[in-house]
Structure 1
Amino acid sequence: MQLTTPSVNMTVGFRTIICGLIVLLGLSACGGSDSSSSDYTYAYVQFYNASPNGANVEMREVDGDSFGSAQFGDTTSMYSLESGELELEFIRTDSDDQEVLIDTITVDLREGYKTLIVMSGDFAAPSFSNYQYERKTLEDHFRLFALSVTADNASYDFYMSESGDPFEAANYLGSANAGDLGEFVFWDADDDSDYFDEGEYTIYLTEPGRDEVIFESQTIDFIYETEYVLTLRDVSGAIQEGLVVDTILNSSTVTALTDVEADSQYRIYNSSNIDADLQVSFGGNTDEEDVSFTLSAGELSSFTAIRYGDYRVTVTDPTGSATSLNNKLITLNQGESKAILIYNNDDKLGAATFVESGLPQAYDKTVNFINLVNDFDDVDFYLVRNDETIDTAEYDLQNLEFGESASEVLPSDYYEVIAVYEDDNGEQVLLDRTALFGFVEEENYIVTVEPADTATGYEIRVLY
């Protein structure tokens, strides 16, 4: 008798019968070791803004509800909807509070699937892409996806190691490519699942086919039993160079991972109003030489790039009229830009610091305001456009104490900046006001109110 090879249909049928018997006997299921399933009965949608020179963008249904807005490097919340076609429009608001339509797209939502809509590229003509993946019910595991959204559409080789292991022990997972959301496979799958084990890991990126690390993340604790989407994007804002890896989950919170070797930067402003130039010493990190320079009253230094670390600042008045500021601790984290503002408080030099924005400043301006007046408990700032008064101003910051800073995101426009305080009778008293000033350049602006030789004794300064 001649033996014949079973047909594909016969093989599948035989395998189905065996699987059925195994299930009846209570044994493990056939078809692989992954025991995850999907209990998700809605369709899901989320928007991610990856345009590095853009504005805050709102996503909403055409002639329908809003689904929130996102700035660069941020997402909306994830929304649960019915499956089917959904027509969406994307809107920004200009300086006249008028809505500007960016684009309209139609997405086909599927039950049990998440649709991630990504806006990337030059904001003058951005591109919209949508990516779908099925949501899974996971236990003690997570899934990992990656996408490159850099301006030059670059691809990167993606490596991952367990926490504490160096690059030499990392596992190559594949490439993170522009326009292609890829899912990575765990290198050490167990009997329960083919997906990644929850725990702490380190990410490494290299150029394609190269073994020189150009990005190493901090240790990441993957604690959620869900799908993680990692997007590789450009740095924007005060620091202009480098990569950031955004971690997107199912909420509006995005964790931005910076390179552990990324430089930081600082700039220093002298608001002391002392006639002599102040002597500044910046250093104390064993990896960097100390730097010394002088700053005259009202002078803002340029940004200085420096290795991340913990530094100390000493500021001295050569005339001896003000007590020196000695060894003020300044911590500069990777990829961070910090402003240091020197002030004279009752003939004692001090310093206030804040981190400058990493958002693009092309359309919306993230302006930092700081009160350097110690004569009052708090100061209020108002941003008044030419058709507004203090009472009708849309943008204001209230109750800034001495040395306290706060930020406000302003549409690119012209504003009169007014600083006031309330006296004991609850009446507003003017400290200073500017002429209409154009917050229209791609700059990181700082607005101070400080003592000065003026009619009121105080002055508003706009720094950039």
Structure 2
Amino acid sequence: MKITTELLLALGMVLTVAGCGSDSKDDSQEAVAYVQYYNGSPDSTSTYLSLEDKDYSALNFGQAMQRYSVSTGSNSLKVIGKNAENSEVEFHAQDINLAAGDNHLFILAGDYEQTDFIDIQFTTTALNEKNDNDDKTSYMQVIGAHISKDSDDIGIYIGKKDDGFSGARYLGQIAYKDSTEPEILETGKYVVYLARAGSNEPFFTTAELSLNTKTVYKLVIRPAFGAATAGVKLDVLSGSKEVTSAPDIDEQVQFRVYNGVQQFDVLKAQIKGKSGDDHELQVGKWTISNFTPTRFGDYDVAVSDVASGEMLLNNLLVTYNQSDSKSILLYPDAEQQLRGTVISHNLTPRSYQYEVQLMNLAPGTTGLEVYFVRNDETVETADYKVTKWDFTENLKITLPRDSYTVTVVKRKDNDTLTLLHRQALQLRDNLDFTLVLTPDDTQTWGYRLQAFQ
């Protein structure tokens, strides 16, 4: 081999890794080569692979494109993303030779300001021959790859759950941008372990991974953020576009609470885990608490008014799987009863594109429109907007880095726009934003739009 430099399950359960029919035995492999692209640059914009005759789909960090067959011979390759002006830019332009039967996994890695391009090359000849057997045993192939720039050398192991770490097969110790030699194993369920260089104990253990297809599984060690104390996750790629992202089975989670209820100055939230992990915090009106780390699992949430001691909510159940970062949002319903909902956060850093999620917690509102208006735009000419924003609906939009006036309106039958809220928003600090709409009689038009990262 040559090297050119949304389900997380609890402990004891299985992570199913999608296979792909096009990645099994290839009858026509003598005439074509195969390519796949994975975006492993955490703070990148969406990027896509471009070959001489084809531009492939754009991918965000942690996404992969399906494995495609391409003609053999000389080809021109480049990766295309966006710059600060939201214009396309090219990276790593080069001429490559694609040989018959060769497989290439192209990876964009490192910081977006100065990315690295990795070409992992392998063949499936030995795997296909191994599967041409009479004993009906099926085989797959695994390759480990290290693309976590700030992590030291890592040893990667794979084995059966019952055999433990001591019985796992050692695939190799790899540095950033390196990969292991391919190993052929029987298909089935496996656990992957990661150990730091010189250590005899794993610092990272996956749940069981279901590797059941006669294919090549790429075990990609990539950066992780937010609650991920291990600093890495394991992304498992087959030949499809599906990526299984596996955290450490003991990875922590983190939660926070937002008080979006105008009639209560301070709320007390009691968050109780089934394993005795209990937390209590007080949250002022229109404020969100800091993230609190805790153990993964199911939590009961009870909320009371600090001033009166009245219990307002005691039946909210919140589930946190390994490495989750979630906010508990408290809001009033149409009868002014306290309710709660939960949203997840992606804490991956950003460069020039941000994901903004909008949560409508204003009872009685339907079909709202939200316009993100830049300095040279109006509501009518704004390039970025969301529509059909109903009560309790969570919508998302990707915006280029810029300054915006966020304008929330209700469109009437005669196309007249009724203004509900307007405020400035500066996308900054390289993190995504969340906007939460709630009733607030102190605001000019009766609604508050709270922004936080």
TM-score tier, shorter chain, comes to 0.7 to 0.9
**Other-structure match for 2:21:** none
CA distance in 2, matches of 1:45, 1:180: 18
Taking structure 1 as reference, are residues 324 and 125 closer, same or farther at Cα in structure 2, changes over 3 Å only? same
Find the aligned partners of 2:92 and 2:201 in 1 and give their Cα distance: 39
* 1:332 to 2:330 alignment: no
Report how far residue 347 of structure 1 moved.
2.5
Contact preservation (8 Å) 1:49, 1:72: yes
State the alpha-carbon separation in 2 of the partners of residues 392 and 323 from structure 1: 48
Residues 142-163 of structure 1, C-alpha deviation per residue, up to 9 Å, x if partnerless?
1111111111353222222224
Task: Trace 1:84-123 onto structure 2 (pairs within 5 A).
Answer: 84-123=73-112
Moved more, 217-226 or 412-421: 412-421
More deviation in 319-328 or 307-316? Answer: 319-328
Report if the CA contact (8 A) 1:88-1:105 is conserved. yes
* SS at structure 2 position matched to 1:338: strand
Partner of 1:146: 144
Equivalent residue letter for 1:152? D
Aligned CA RMSD, in angstroms, stands at 2.4
Answer yes or no: is the 8 Å Cα contact 1:237–1:360 preserved in 2: no
Q: Which amino acid aligns with 2:401?
A: S
Q: Against the structure 1 CA distance between its residues 254 and 400, is the aligned structure 2 distance closer, same or farther, given a 3 Å change threshold?
A: same
Contact 1:72 1:360 in 2 (8 A): no
Cα separation, 2, equivalents of 1:348 and 1:433 = 27
Q: Which residue in the other structure is 1:55 paired with?
A: 45
Aligned to 1:380: 369
Distance in 1 between residues matched to 2:347 and 2:212, nearest whole Å: 27
The answer for the alignment partner of 2:343 in structure 1 is 354
Q: 1:448 to 1:252 in 2, by over 3 A?
A: same
Q: Is the 8 A contact 2:368 2:409 kept in 1?
A: yes
Contact 1:359-1:366 at 8 Å conserved across structures: no
Secondary structure of 1:389's match? coil
Q: Which amino acid aligns with 2:155?
A: D
CA distance in 2, matches of 1:306, 1:434: 34
**In structure 2, distance between residues paired with 1:321 and 1:376:** 31
Go from structure 1 to structure 2 and tell me whether the alpha carbon gap of 1:65 and 1:184 turns closer, same or farther (over 3 Å shift).
closer
Distance apart, 1:228 and its partner CA: 0.8
Unaligned runs of 5+ in 2: 1-24, 132-137
Question: What's the CA shift for 1:259?
Answer: 0.5
Aligned length, in residue pairs: 417
Output aligned runs, 1:98-247, within 5 Å.
98-136=87-125, 137=128, 139=131, 140-152=138-150, 154-185=152-183, 195-236=184-225, 242-247=231-236
Equivalent-residue separation in structure 1 for 2:201 and 2:309 (angstroms): 53
Determine what percentage of the aligned residue pairs are the same residue. Answer: 28
1:312 corresponds in structure 2 to 300
1:243-282 correspondence to structure 2 within 5 Å: 243-282=232-271
Secondary structure of 1:434's aligned partner: strand
Letter in 2 for 1:388: E
Find the counterpart in structure 1 of residue 17 from structure 2: none
How far residue 244 of structure 1 moved from its aligned partner, in angstroms, is 0.5
Aligned equivalents of 1:37, 1:79: Cα separation in 2: 12
Q: Which fold has the larger relative contact order, with Cα–Cα distance below 8 Å and residues 6 or more apart in sequence?
A: 2
Letter in 2 for 1:243: V
| Partner Cα distance (2:383, 2:238) in 1 | 33
Greater Cα shift, 71-80 or 201-210? 71-80
**Distance in 2, Cα, partners of 1:434 & 1:454:** 11
* Aligned-partner SS, 1:168: helix
Question: For residues 81 and 237 of structure 1, do their structure 2 counterparts lie closer, same or farther at Cα, with a shift above 3 Å needed?
Answer: farther
Larger radius of gyration: 1
Offset from partner CA, 1:100-150 (integer Å, 9 cap, x none): 233312222111111111222222111212121113447422111111111
Native 8 Å contact 2:78 2:94 kept in 1 = yes
Counterpart in the other structure of 2:421: 432
How many angstroms does 1:395 deviate by? 2.5
Supply the distance in 1 between the matched residues of 2:421 and 2:201 (Cα, whole angstroms).
Answer: 54
Query: 1:414·1:440 contact (CA, 8 Å) conserved in 2?
Result: no
Q: Which residue is equivalent to 2:8?
A: none
The normalised TM-score by structure 1 is 0.83
Q: 1:156 to 1:96 in 2, by over 3 A?
A: closer
Q: Which moved more, 1:388-397 or 1:438-447?
A: 388-397
**SS of the residue aligned with 2:199?**
coil
2:431 to 443, 448, 452: 443
> Aligned-pair distance for 1:59?
2.1
Matched, 1:410 2:399: yes
**TM-score, normalized by length of structure 2?**
0.85
**CA distance 1:48–1:413, change in 2 (3 Å):** same
Partners of 1:285 and 1:423 in 2: CA distance: 48
Distance of 1:37 and 1:423 partners within structure 2 = 58
For residues 73 and 277 of structure 1, what CA distance do their matches in structure 2 show?
Answer: 39
Q: 1:79 and 2:68 equivalent? A: yes
In the alignment, the residues of structure 2 paired with residue 418 and residue 390 of structure 1 have an alpha-carbon distance, to the nearest angstrom, of: 8
Asked if the contact 1:316/1:324 (under 8 Å) is kept, the reply is: yes
Where structure 1 has 5 or more consecutive residues not aligned to the other structure, the ranges are 1-35, 186-194
CA gap of 1:407–1:336, structure 2 versus 1, over 3 A, is: same
Distance 1:202 1:180, change over 3 A: same
Q: Which moved more, 1:357-366 or 1:344-353?
A: 357-366
- Aligned equivalent of 1:7: none
Which residue in 2 is equivalent to 1:295? 283
Note closer, same or farther for the CA distance 1:287–1:240 as it changes in structure 2 (3 Å cut). same
Counterpart of 1:248 in structure 2: which amino acid? L
